[in-house]
Amino acid sequence: MPLTTDFLVIGSGVAGLTFALEASAHGDVIVLTKRSADESNTKYAQGGIAAVLSDADSFASHIADTLEAGAGLCHERTVEICVKEGPARIRALQAIGARFDRAEDPGAARADLDLHLEGGHSARRVVHAADMTGREVERALLEAVKSSGRIRILEDHCAVDLITLAKYGGPDVCAGAYALDEGSGQVVTVLARAVILASGGAGKVYLYTTNPDVATGDGVAMAHRAGAEIANMEFYQFHPTCLFHPQARRFLLTEAMRGEGATLRRVDGTAFMKSHDPRGDLAPRDVVARAVDFEMKKTGAEHVLLDITDKKPAFVRERFPNIYEECLRWGVDITAQPIPVVPAAHFMCGGVTTNFEGRTSIPGLYAVGECACTGLHGANRLASNSLLEGLVFAHRAAEALRDVDRSQPWPDVPEWETGSAGPSDEAVIITQNWDELRRLMWNYVGIVRSTSRLRRASRRIALLQEEIAEYYWKYFVTRDLLELRNIATVAQLIVECAESRHESRGLHFTTDHPNADAKAARDTVVKRGVPARLR
């Protein structure tokens, strides 16, 4: 028998947990998460949440900064909604116990919270909990969710595919999802009155990423297979400053470090950002990432340096305790020596298209957080607007679903069929394709692109997808197989959208079309069976 619930949430980051908590006031909720409930991109968000909370700031200023960073593609109404509703979402987090750093002198700061300055922002407006903001937000939300009697969290459950009734002769409505229970190895059926994708980003599609292993674009890939509209996948943000160390995993060094005076330098110690942008080290991320990429390629260096040694050691340790300890673990004392850094894939600005309440193009299917394309980020996300987006639109989706329709009987859909599939005896195919795909995306579809590189990537991804599909139908599904299938779909969508944009804008930079085209200031939209196009 299938599991049934009012709301099925796929993902347990800030957006998924916020929706689950608020929707539980008027319905039952099941949260699917493919590993532990606290493992998501949210947990690793260092910088904070951008919101207007000071008399020295204004909504107009935050809106203007967001629009400028978005390079002409932000949806202005979306930006206005997110900015103006942001402060209430911060207070809602505080109400459930989130502990943010307080201002030492509220009168001088004209705010009760300590506010950071980050690149692209014209005022201090980034709320933080030291340099572990995401972890604190995740903690507070999880505690509140676990205390609710109407929310059931299914850990180690990996969504396989969405259930759309059109596939079984019914209306074009999303009615649930199939999910692999890793404990039993069985695929379970979950039916719901509304399905909310909150599965996060897809950083693992690239060889180097700040994202955790769970970030494989599952929501976007499943939505695409179900026929939902996807937009702006060419705009993948690369964080410019991640710790470079042969043995260390890519560890993000928050933009707030540059906001507090850290300087990017070549390996010979010379500063370089002023030669790339008049804003210097406080330029938006796309500008900084391209500058770092340029300097590394020009000099042949494996990294550049991020230097905050001119600040007092006590200030650095207090402001960035997690970064200080992590770098020290790898032999770098950031109070005394510059940090070797490189860019890495960080944030997906495109995703499943939604309206202001999270509704997608498929009835019954909603998307919130990084997997959604709300129009907030345009061609480039402004720093610390991501947690803000997840909070605002998860809240709005929960409000829109207060009166969920329970009048219809549960649909009769078939249980998962394994067909002739059997146990795998060649899992090496997964490993090979996984490594090849991610390296291919890094080399051909990274920070700087070209028409010929995109064509090569497109041809090779098509061949990889054929191999993956053959394996998928031949063997029992596993999490590794499902994740590989999903990142291959995401890779295809990124390349397809990038090929359709014959200009450089925001995060999409191509050497064949190095300038922006005013006529191309439109979203790139793609749908299963319909080629990507500007709309």
Q: How confident is the model at residue 50 (pLDDT cuts 50, 70, 90)?
A: very high
Q: Output the CA torsion sign for 477, 478, 479, 481.
A: negative
CA distance 253 to 330: 14
Residue 322 has pLDDT above 80, yes or no: yes
Among 46-50, 459-463, 465-469, which is the least confidently predicted range?
A: 46-50
44, two tokens: 């690793």
Q: Is 285 a catalytic residue?
A: yes
Mean pLDDT of 391-420: 93
CA distance 472 to 478: 9
Task: Supply the pLDDT for residue 170.
Answer: 84
Closest C-alpha among 401, 480, 393, 396 to residue 433: 480
503, two tokens: 């200009």
Element (H, E) at 203: none
Percent of the chain residues past pLDDT 70, beyond the cut: 99
Residues in the chain: 535
Q: How confident is the model at residue 108 (pLDDT cuts 50, 70, 90)?
A: very low
More confident residue, 37 or 280: 280
Residues 124, 130, 135, 136, Cα dihedral to 10°:
-80
Distances (CA, A) of 322 to 45, 303, 327, 464: 12, 22, 9, 39
More confident residue, 477 or 44: 477
Q: Output the CA torsion sign for 288, 289, 291, 295.
A: positive
Q: Give 372-394 as a DSSP string.
A: EE-SSSTTSPPTT-HHHHHHHHH
CB 393 within 8 A of CB 16: no
Average pLDDT along the chain: 94
The residues facing 262 across adjacent strands are none
459, two tokens: 């041809």
CA distance 97 to 43: 16
Residue 254 has pLDDT above 60, yes or no: yes
Which of 46-50, 248-252, 383-387 ranks highest by mean pLDDT? 383-387
Quick count: other Cβ atoms within 10 Å of Cβ 252? Answer: 22
Mean pLDDT of 400-407: 92
Query: What is the per-residue pLDDT across 147-188, written as a single tens digit (0 to 9) for each?
Result: 999 999 999 999 999 999 988 888 899 999 999 999 999 999
CB 344 within 8 A of CB 239: yes
Task: Supply the pLDDT for residue 132.
Answer: 87
Burial class (CB within 10 angstroms; exposed 0-12, middle 13-18, buried 19+) of 1: exposed
Query: What is the per-residue pLDDT across 423-451, written as a single tens digit (0 to 9) for each?
Result: 988 889 999 999 999 999 998 999 999 99
**How many angstroms from the chain centroid is the CA of residue 87?**
21
The phi and psi torsions of 190 (rounded to 5 degrees) equal: -125, 120
CA distance 18 to 3: 22
Mean pLDDT of 67-77: 97
Residue 110 has pLDDT above 60, yes or no: no
Catalytic residue among 135, 258, 285, 359: 285
Go through 2-32 and write b for each residue having 16 or more CB atoms within 10 A of its CB, e for each that does not. beebbbbbbbbbbbbbbbbbbbbeebbbbbb
CB 15 within 8 A of CB 198: yes
Q: How confident is the model at residue 353 (pLDDT cuts 50, 70, 90)?
A: very high
Query: What is the per-residue pLDDT across 73-93, written as a single tens digit (0 to 9) for each?
Result: 999 999 999 999 999 999 999
Mean pLDDT of 398-415: 93
Task: Supply the pLDDT for residue 382.
Answer: 93
CB 177 within 8 A of CB 190: yes
User: Cα angle vertex 64, ends 501, 369, to 5°?
Assistant: 65
Collapsing DSSP to helix, strand or coil, 195 comes out as strand
CB 2 within 8 A of CB 191: yes
CA distance 233 to 526: 9
pTM for the predicted model, two decimal places: 0.92
Quick count: other Cβ atoms within 10 Å of Cβ 442? Answer: 17
Quick count: other Cβ atoms within 10 Å of Cβ 72? Answer: 15
Residue 105 has pLDDT above 70, yes or no: no
Query: What is the per-residue pLDDT across 182-232, written as a single tens digit (0 to 9) for each?
Result: 999 999 999 999 999 999 999 999 988 989 999 999 999 999 999 999 999
CA distance 169 to 412: 11
Mean pLDDT of 24-42: 92
Q: How confident is the model at residue 420 (pLDDT cuts 50, 70, 90)?
A: confident
Q: How confident is the model at residue 288 (pLDDT cuts 50, 70, 90)?
A: very high
DSSP 317: H
- Write down all domains in the chain, each with its CATH number in brackets: 241-344 (3.90.700.10)
Q: Give 348-369 as a DSSP string.
A: E--EEE--TT-B-SSTTEEE-G
DSSP 24: T
215, two tokens: 């970030």
CA distance 289 to 481: 32
Residue 109 has pLDDT above 60, yes or no: no
